[in-house]
Structure 1
Amino acid sequence: MAVGGSTLGAFMAVLNIQIVNASLADIQGAIGAGIDDGGWISTSYLIAEIVVIPLTGWLAQVFSIRLYLLVNAVLFLAFSIACAFAADLQQMIALRALQGFTGGVLIPMAFTIIITLLPQTKQPVGLALFALSATFAPAIGPTIGGYLTENWGWEYIFYVNLVPGALMVAMLWGSLERAPLNFSLLARGDWFGIATMAIGLAALQTVLEEGNKDDWFGSPFIVRLSVIAAVSLSLFVTIELAVKHPLLNLRLLLRRNFGFGILANILLGFALYGSVFILPIYLARVQGYNAEQIGMVLAWTGLPQLLLIPLVPRLMKRFDVRYVIAFGFGLFALSNFMNIHMTKDYASDQLFWPNIVRAVGQALVFTPLSATATAGIEKENAGSASALFNMMRNLGGAVGIAVLQTFLTKREQFHSNILINSVSLLAEATRERIANLTAYFLAHGVSDPAVAAHKAVVAIGLRVRQQANVMAFSDTFFLLGSALVLALVATLFLKKADHLEGGVGH
């Protein structure tokens, strides 16, 4: 019950990233926010979430797992409802930050409960449940968000948390053991580490979320935040390696399986959140899909996982876990490479099989990667391992979205320049195309030949831009596939974990 309740909480916390992104335009319109400022509705949640994840292991020791998890679960539900009643942008940003701060607790706590309360032989089953939150929730989020927004209204993306949230609280209340509070830990808390970590991660997350919109280092705001992030995080690493009771045990990264597992996990986050970000933009910009239609396309990256993930622990018993991970990364990479020859007619039908392949790949990766990376982690290091593993995946996702936004813009400009150079009035084919389009417009209600000719040139310009966009998206999928090939290479350095000797549960 504890594992079920906590993983349900983690699922809801991750779902609330993507479910809101799918409905951002409707929320912005309802609360009078501009397109640029409206992005902070998502950014504030992500900043709060990534800051609280590393703090969770320590705070759970101070307040006990039961009290800490229950209080945050109840507050998460309260702030979810409050978001639906936000009257303006400032209120929404503040409430989303509070929702992210409480929701961010639910993710690593579920992971910690799995690797501390379950015996080693049962951990793959628990991690398979957790995988539903890590990979299924981002995939199904736009589907749920699009459906609720189109049919019920954007407020329902927050109300939807209530029923599963009540079930989560009931399961945690009935299963987690009471434990004494340990306020003495506050006295020897790693306060300088906490401060530098919070400032550094908040600044870094803001840079990654806002950088592309503000032209990166062309913006003094981004430059200042980048310097703050670099200095703060450098100090954080130095402090953690020097103090007697660090917030996070960074030396875990020197362990072969955990270190290479974290590297593969960062690249998984890059591709997982990156592909959930790119596909909706492509479908909206090139194909003109609405939120509900986009959700239906993305559903095929989520629904197969619901069937496959429960079977993964059986595969882990029959095959070398490293081969399962490598095969999963290979399929996930292949699903992106299947999209590198896109055309303007490439829509839901053409995306069906790549999305199915991606779903199978994602289902095969997460559970065995988590189990192998954390094999042999001692109980006292479980909080640090959970925080690092989940924080780095989220950070990988933030880096992925930032890189892909910029990459997409630059490649679209590159392809536009090349295509425009090929469309010359000196070329017979161009003149013939303009003449045909002019005749078409004259035959369809335009009486002035000069206006018809102008509309013909505009139409050609729009077609060039559309083609440049399609080619840029093809390049972006190639980049995603390449990142996953690197993740596959990282998994080849993992040691076989005979499930998994030593560590938690023994």
Structure 2
Amino acid sequence: MASTTHDTPAALKPFAPPAPGEKVSARTWMAVAAGMLGAFMAVLDIQITNSSLKDILGTLSATQEEGSWIATAYLVAEIIIIPMTGLMTRVFGMRAYMMGTTSLFLLCSTLCGFAWNLPSMIVFRMMQGFTGGALIPMAMTLVMAKLPATKRATGMAIFGLTATLAPSMGPTFGGYLSELYGWPSIFYINWGPGLLLIAGIALGLDKEKRQLNLLYNADWLGIAFMAVGLGSLTIFLEEGNSKDWFESSFIITFAALAIIGLLGWAVTGALRKQPFVNLGLYGQRNFFAATALSMAMGMGLYGSSFLLPLYLGQIPGYSPMQIGEVIMWAGLPQLFIMPFVAKLSSKVDNRILCTFGLLLFGGSCFMNAYMDATTGYDQLLLSQIVRALGQPFVMLTLSNFAMNGIQPKDMPSASSLINMTRNLGGSIGIALLATALTSREHFHSQRLGESVTGFAAATQERLAALTQSFLSRGFDSATAGDMALKAIDGIVRREAYVMAYNDGFFLVGAVLFGCIGVLWFSDKVKAPSGGGGGAH
């Protein structure tokens, strides 16, 4: 497949990395740091509304099902804009595009805080996704385009932190801010890092000449197919479980649109000489393996971030702030382990490091697959720390696999595609887990119900004890009997849900362990060191 850009010096210059021995200026590091801040902010905003959703829905007078569109709108817009960042960067230049899209993101974030009803919130969240989504691949592009090969392991380590810390810290930040300052503060908080980002990019990057003519010659048919395909696929995944999947004509419609859009995108991309994103990169073995693993990693990252807060809120009844205190342990240790992983990545075969990371991450999910109704902060602490130790080994090495051997002109495409597939993996993971939770809860309720019958001696003893307890509180015998039955039913439902959550974590762990086999189809890769190449 053809490259993504016109093969002219002007088009290639922004993406040509410095020579291996070239010293990196403070300005460049400032720009890279600003890009990382943007990626962290954009990923954080995917999850930050989760712990505050009940408060938001109460203010906007919306139901739980309607409220799911608050997250879906952001994800749809984000996944559509990510593949377009390479084109937009060539048109406006890195500096102008990043400053412009960040300014709009801050404006849209503020509008979200001012939303007066559900439709306005959905529109503003979609606008926020369109403007913020570009910041994720741009961070990786900055690392590849502005740092010499010998410094990329450090840059990728920082990028890996943004991708793994943000999903872990989103519910934590959201919970604390909502409880202390009200839910609009989760949107206003973006102004701090956003202004720092704009300043860092303004000072760290040189101005580039705009190439507006590229907009006229862009593959707009391919872009339209991509938008329809990815947008419809995200809606299908996000809304499928609540609408009972293919029992709903709404879901069938979006499934059909997703297939048409994605096939149309693939065909137009293959036929055009200058597609807006180079899908031909999927034909490279290392890149294909890395994106497949990135999708699975997205399932693991967003899936575990979906299951645990849900369990903690439903079973032990934790507040958003308490949930945040548990989840932060999946994030904080990464700050200390990532520099160590970056050093190892230039000395050890990255397949070995990634395998180790997958074993830790998958193992932490299996540790969570044996919870009971009393499991809380103390029991979950070790699994969260094991998860935090494993994630950096996977994220950094996957970036090395994906970008190994990529030509400068294809760096924006590679960055867009790997980040797009990780986000898609997150949507697929959450959709699978939400469906699995529902079906497995029904399954376990039926199995438990077969044992907990009125004829079982243990059930009769428990009913008698509960009835006596309610009688001692002053209830009449008929009411006490009904309350005892409802209490037994509640215990059965609670245990069924705990078993369903355990099944969910087991599924995520199994997927991550299964990825180890896929990983070894890729070539041996080490991060460059001391002026070396990309692969050894």
Q: What band does the TM-score fall into relative to the shorter chain?
A: over 0.9
Residue 311 of structure 1: how far off its partner (Å):
2.4
> Of the candidates 146, 151, 155, which is equivalent to residue 126 of structure 1?
155
1:54–1:391 CA contact under 8 A, matched in 2: yes
1:377–1:503 CA contact under 8 A, matched in 2: no
Name the counterpart of 1:17: 46
> Of the candidates 189, 193, 200, which is equivalent to residue 164 of structure 1?
193
Distance 2:112 2:458 in 1: 56
Indicate how the Cα distance of structure 1 residues 466 and 201 shifts in structure 2: closer, same or farther if over 3 A, else same.
Answer: same
> Of the candidates 505, 514, 524, which is equivalent to residue 496 of structure 1?
524
Matches within 5 A, 1:322-401: 322-401=351-430
Give the secondary-structure state (helix, strand or coil) at the position aligned to 2:294: helix
Matches within 5 A, 1:75-154: 75-154=104-183
> Of the candidates 434, 443, 453, which is equivalent to residue 405 of structure 1?
434
Give the secondary-structure state (helix, strand or coil) at the position aligned to 1:421: helix
Matches within 5 A, 1:80-479: 80-446=109-475, 448-479=476-507
Distance 2:534 2:502 in 1: 44
2:526–2:534 CA contact under 8 A, matched in 1: no
State which drifts further: 202-211 or 484-493. 484-493
Distance 1:163 1:33 in 2: 30
Distance 1:89 1:120 in 2: 47
Aligned AA (1:426): F
Aligned AA (1:365): V
Distance 2:372 2:112 in 1: 40
Distance 2:213 2:221 in 1: 17
Name the counterpart of 1:31: 60
Tell me the number of residue pairs that the alignment of Structure 1 and Structure 2 aligns. Answer: 503
> Of the candidates 489, 496, 513, which is equivalent to residue 485 of structure 1?
513
Structure 1 residues not aligned, in runs of 5+: none
Distance 2:359 2:104 in 1: 40
Structure 2 residues not aligned, in runs of 5+: 1-29
Name the counterpart of 2:36: 7
Distance 1:459 1:31 in 2: 33
Distance 1:21 1:429 in 2: 40
State which drifts further: 214-223 or 184-193. 184-193
Residue 318 of structure 1: how far off its partner (Å):
3.2
Give the secondary-structure state (helix, strand or coil) at the position aligned to 2:331: helix
Distance 2:386 2:515 in 1: 17
Distance 1:392 1:91 in 2: 29
Distance 2:456 2:200 in 1: 71
Q: TM-score, normalised by structure 2?
A: 0.92
Residue 184 of structure 1: how far off its partner (Å):
2.2
Aligned AA (2:154): V
Give the secondary-structure state (helix, strand or coil) at the position aligned to 1:317: coil
1:20–1:145 CA contact under 8 A, matched in 2: yes
2:440–2:503 CA contact under 8 A, matched in 1: yes
Give the secondary-structure state (helix, strand or coil) at the position aligned to 2:210: coil
Distance 1:272 1:53 in 2: 19
Residue 498 of structure 1: how far off its partner (Å):
4.3
Distance 1:162 1:183 in 2: 29
Residue 502 of structure 1: how far off its partner (Å):
5.4
Distance 2:534 2:519 in 1: 21
1:340–1:477 CA contact under 8 A, matched in 2: yes
Give the secondary-structure state (helix, strand or coil) at the position aligned to 2:370: coil
2:83–2:416 CA contact under 8 A, matched in 1: yes
Distance 1:318 1:244 in 2: 39
Residue 492 of structure 1: how far off its partner (Å):
1.5
Give the secondary-structure state (helix, strand or coil) at the position aligned to 2:522: coil
Give the secondary-structure state (helix, strand or coil) at the position aligned to 2:368: coil
Residue 256 of structure 1: how far off its partner (Å):
1.4
Deviations 1:379-399 (A, max 9, x none): 110111011000000000000
1:344–1:466 CA contact under 8 A, matched in 2: yes
2:57–2:63 CA contact under 8 A, matched in 1: yes
Give the secondary-structure state (helix, strand or coil) at the position aligned to 1:339: helix
2:298–2:429 CA contact under 8 A, matched in 1: yes
Deviations 1:275-332 (A, max 9, x none): 1011011001111111111111101111111222232211213322211111001100
1:261–1:490 CA contact under 8 A, matched in 2: no
Deviations 1:103-135 (A, max 9, x none): 001011111111111111111111111112100
Deviations 1:123-174 (A, max 9, x none): 1111111112100011011111101111111111112111111111100001
| Structure 1 consecutive aligned stretches of length 4 or more whose deviation exceeds 4 Å | 500-504
1:2–1:176 CA contact under 8 A, matched in 2: yes
Residue 77 of structure 1: how far off its partner (Å):
1.1
> Of the candidates 47, 70, 84, which is equivalent to residue 55 of structure 1?
84
RMSD: 1.3
Distance 2:184 2:338 in 1: 31
State which drifts further: 308-317 or 256-265. 308-317
1:378–1:503 CA contact under 8 A, matched in 2: no
Distance 1:47 1:250 in 2: 20
Sequence identity percentage: 47
Q: TM-score, normalised by structure 1?
A: 0.97
Residue 503 of structure 1: how far off its partner (Å):
7.1
Aligned AA (1:403): L
Aligned AA (1:453): G
